[in-house]
Amino acid sequence: MSEVKSRVPDGAEPEFVPKIVAFCCYYCAYSAADLAGSLRLQYPPTIRVIEVPCSGKVDPVILLKAFEEGADGVYVAGCLEGDCHFLKGNFRAKKRVAAVKKILDQIGLDGRRLEMFNLSAAMGTRFAEIAVEMTNRIMELGPSPIRPEAVAARRAAQGEVEPR
Amino acid sequence: MIVAEPKPIAEVAELIKTGRHVLIVGCGECVTVCQAGGEKEVEVLASALRILWKKEGKDGTIDTQTIVRQCEPEYVAELAKKVKDADIVLSLGCGVGVQFIAEAYPDKWVVPGLNTKFGGGTVKAGVWEERCGFCGDCILHLTGGICPVIRCSKSILNGPCGGSQDGHCEVAKDIPCAWQLIYDRLKGLGRLELLDEIRPPKDWRTSRDGGPRKFVKEEAMIE
């Protein structure tokens, strides 16, 4: 089993704990999350899993709403390409994620805060890896700019002086 | 239908920057079909603009409403309650919709969120093409149902011109030569004799050359 480790240091109070919303397809990622649990895999507690009947159910509005409500990162986890239970749902999700990434770039939120992942129900380890990967990415990008208190808190924790 | 495309978010943000309470209005007709200004697009834009405002620390509200048709006063009237609370109305209708809202609410600042492009149709999911130039004097019966006025880059009535190369227009490789299409279709239908006739210059007074146009149907008028 591969070692999954996040940048959130053990024991120490992290400077910033990201809030990440994961839209997980019932047929793959959601079951993979279950498997990750059965395998007692550790992954950061930054992920809020939302079950969807298919990644193709995820609409651009829902992705943006998550950011509007203060999510620091969002990802959609769908079946492996070619394995969608509804044939093309994950391809549709991929296009929508790409479109919303562009919107995020346009409004200065950084498209990297949003990602699409593909996995199967048997990939519990991969599920944990994705959680770590996304947490690390968001740790690097910092809190969402629409949460000024979190941005300020992080700056303070990093010893930066507030710009006047 | 009228085909339109969204203006870039930065441009829209600039148009509404003086507002504190913005109402985004969608239209349930053409722009819903071409996925530029329907209910879904309205919600996406509203969410994106709310995020942008939050990011900039701007205080304000962005409300939404999508009506059946922006080009009809009785539907535009349904907006009254929300328009009252807004200081700027951002219409995701075509240019017609923007103007009908502006006419209905003379004291409101109404801005367009779309660039209205052309009269066209869906050729496949996500792709819309121009088909009608609204010239006001249809000649499709002479050209096998393919419009040279709008599909020929030069709008010539006796084509093709010398720029027709292997079925493509010289303007761009992805534009088919309308006159090649007309020839192929008439040949297939055995109606090539239609091309023997020389078409005189078109009377453009029925088009924009005659100024803004109006269509009146007496029997449809109530008063």
Mean per-residue pLDDT of chain B = 96
Per-residue pLDDT, A15: 75
Per-residue pLDDT, A149: 83
Indicate whether A83 belongs to any domain.
Answer: yes
Check A145 against B55: CB less than 8 A apart: yes
Check A146 against B48: CB less than 8 A apart: no
Per-residue pLDDT, A1: 43
* Contacts by residues B133-137 (CB-CB < 8 Å, ≥ 24 positions apart): B133/B207, B134/B207, B135/B202, B135/B204, B135/B206, B135/B207, B136/B206, B136/B207, B136/B210, B136/B213, B137/B202, B137/B203, B137/B206, B137/B207
Q: Which residues of chain A have pLDDT under 70?
A: 1-14, 160-164
Three-state DSSP state, A81: coil
Indicate whether A14 belongs to any domain.
Answer: no
Q: Nearest CB to A146: which of B40, B43, B54?
A: B54
Indicate whether A13 belongs to any domain.
Answer: no
Interface residue B47 vs chain A (CB under 8 A): yes
Q: DSSP state, B201?
A: P
Give the mean pLDDT of B159-178: 95
Check B47 against A65: CB less than 8 A apart: yes
Indicate whether A6 belongs to any domain.
Answer: no
Indicate whether A71 belongs to any domain.
Answer: yes
Amino acid at A71: A
Give the mean pLDDT of B160-170: 95
Residues from chain B contacting residue A146 (CB–CB below 8 Å)? 51, 54-55
Per-residue pLDDT, A38: 95
**Residue B209 — pLDDT band, cuts 50, 70, 90?**
confident
- Are the beta carbons of B114 and B94 closer than 8 angstroms? yes
Indicate whether A117 belongs to any domain.
Answer: yes
DSSP A119-133: --TT-HHHHHHHHHH
Check pLDDT > 50 for residue B15.
Answer: yes
Measure B91 CA to nearest chain A CA, in Å. 19
Per-residue pLDDT, A7: 54
Tally of structural domains, chain A: 1
- What is the CATH number that goes with domain B2-118? 3.40.50.2300
Residue pLDDT, tens place only, A134-148: 999 999 999 999 988
pTM for the full model? 0.91
- Rounded distance, CA B80 to CA B101, Å? 10
Measure B96 CA to nearest chain A CA, in Å. 26
- Rounded distance, CA A34 to CA A24, Å? 11
Task: Please report, for the domain that includes residue A99, its CATH number.
Answer: 3.40.50
Residue pLDDT, tens place only, B35-85: 999 999 999 999 999 999 999 999 999 999 999 999 999 999 999 999 999
- Other C-beta atoms within 10 Å of B137: how many? 11
Check B55 against A146: CB less than 8 A apart: yes
Burial class (CB in 10 A: 0-12, 13-18, 19+), A135: buried
Indicate whether A144 belongs to any domain.
Answer: yes
Residues 6+ apart with CB under 8 A from B38: B26, B27, B28, B31, B32, B66, B92
- Rounded distance, CA A36 to CA A56, Å? 23
Per-residue pLDDT, A164: 53
Domain containing A143 equals 20-160
Domain ranges of chain B: 2-118, 136-205
Per-residue pLDDT, A29: 94
Residues from chain B contacting residue A67 (CB–CB below 8 Å)? 47, 51
Indicate whether A5 belongs to any domain.
Answer: no
Residues from chain A contacting residue B36 (CB–CB below 8 Å)? none
- What is the ipTM for the molecules in this complex? 0.87
